[in-house]
Structure formats: C-alpha cells, structure tokens
Amino acid sequence: MDFTTLFLSHGSPMMVLEDTPTRRFLIELGRTIPKPPAVIAVSAHWQTSQPVLGFAAWPDKINDIFGFPAELYQLDYAPPGAPMVAARAADRLGESCRRDPGAGIDHSIWSVMSLMWPEADVPVVPLSVQPQAGAAHHYFLGRRLAPLVAEGVLVIGSGAATHNLEDYFRRKVKADIEPEVAEFTQWLAETAERGDVAALLDYRARAPHAEHNHPTEEHLLPFFVALGAAAHGEARRLHQDVDSGVLAMDAFGFR
C-alpha cells in the first residue's frame, strides 16, 4: 500500500541515541518513502484548547525533556518551517485555528524526524492537539487537511499506540508485552485495517483496556488526524515493538 499519512509512536527520546527496532524502522522509513515537500506534524506534546499551527520560518527545537544525557539537549536539528503550507492549512481548519509564529518543534517531532531525515531538509509545520475534544474532533481536523495531502504534503501524527506512564516507570525493564497492551494494540490494528472508522472513533468504549492504555488521550489523538487526512481511509500497521512491555511503539500508514 502506498500510504499518504503516518502515525508514529515516538516513545522515549533515548530512541535517538540507542539502537532499538523502532529507531531502525524510522531510519529505514525515511530512506524508502518519497521525500515530501513539507510535513504537517501533529504533536501529542503540544496541547492547546483550540487547534494551533506553527508559522515559524525556522522553528526552534524545544527540549521538553528532563534528566536525559547531554547529547539530546545538544542535538542540532533545525529543519525549516513552511509558512505558506501553514497558511493553507489554517485556511482549511477555519476560524477556530490559531496561528503561532513562534511555535517550535518538541521532542515528539524532532525525535522521529531527525531519524527519518537527518539532513533536516524537510520543512515542518507543527500542529497541536486538543485533549479535551476527543477522537472525532481530531479525525475531522484531518479530513480538512486532506486536500493538502492530495498535493503531496505528508501528515505525520506523532504520539504513542499505548501510553500508560505509571506502568512504564514502575517496570522500566525489558519485559514481555503486557496482555492488556497486546489486546489493545491488536484491536487497534485490526479495526484500522478493516476500515471501521466508527469503531475507532468510539475506541474508549469499544477497545479492550482503552483507559488502562491511555489514561489520558493526548498520545493517541494524532492517530485520528492522520486517519482523517488520508483520502481512502485505508490503513496498515507498518511496525510493531514494545518498550518495557508497556509502551507500544506501533506505526501505521494510511491512504
């Protein structure tokens, strides 16, 4: 399947430094897909009450991480922005969308993009999520961005297939995948691949262990933007991995 949008699990920023299956997957993904003219990157870490798009010509790298090795803070990753793409996206999103000329790129964006395109030559427009608004809101944000995707702009939702940090910090060891994580991610993949959008948008009620895997929703909301921005609603799970048995690092392609 030739996909036109992506959902990527970014996990710990240590992925930039440590050899993991997901790191290798992202490096290979950047080598194999056509380099897009621009990326609209939906960040689970940029949370706002209404949609906000970054309009900076050269967005700053935001080190929204604490207690990590100095190499991560010193990492120089500075792709250009794409203000013209941002303007067109803002027009598509309508009056509720705010424009931020000072928005930078946080680690949910630079951690994946620095592996995919280390030359920092793909322009990026960051887009925020609205945790209080839910899945359907983000799906319809994606639908409004679909005309830009049709012209070649790549929408990347960067979040996590599962994101229970309490479990993660309690375990913090290499471990087999928890049954609750396996059941949720299998449901997510099967439901996406059969194109059941209604079930996906109602995942809090229909997916097994939804609240356990996402006590808060922000890390799955980029998935719905990427799903909505794909013209045909077709999905495929591109990658599976799990960190400490708890944080699923799955990736999806949509078209």
In terms of CATH architecture, what is 5-254? 3-Layer(aba) Sandwich (3.40)
* Model confidence band, residue 172 (pLDDT cutoffs 50, 70, 90): low
Residue 243: other Cβ atoms inside 10 A: 24
Q: Residue holding tokens 């996906």?
A: 200
> Is the pLDDT assigned to residue 11 strictly greater than 80?
yes
Nearest Cα to 155, choosing from 230, 98, 103? 230
Angstrom distance (rounded) from CA 226 to CA 32: 19
Tell me the two tokens of residue 123.
Answer: 């322009």
> Is the pLDDT assigned to residue 178 strictly greater than 70?
yes
What pLDDT score does 176 carry? 77
Angstrom distance (rounded) from CA 35 to CA 207: 34
Give the list of residues 6+ apart from residue 171 with CB closer than 8 angstroms, or none.
244, 245, 246
Q: Residue holding tokens 């928005």?
A: 103
Taking the model in full, what pTM does it have? 0.95
Q: Which tens digits make up the pLDDT trace of 33-87?
A: 999 999 999 999 999 999 999 999 999 999 988 888 898 899 899 999 999 999 9
219 with 42: CB under 8 angstroms? no
HSE-up (13 A, CA, CB side) for residue 144: 16
> Is the pLDDT assigned to residue 166 strictly greater than 70?
no
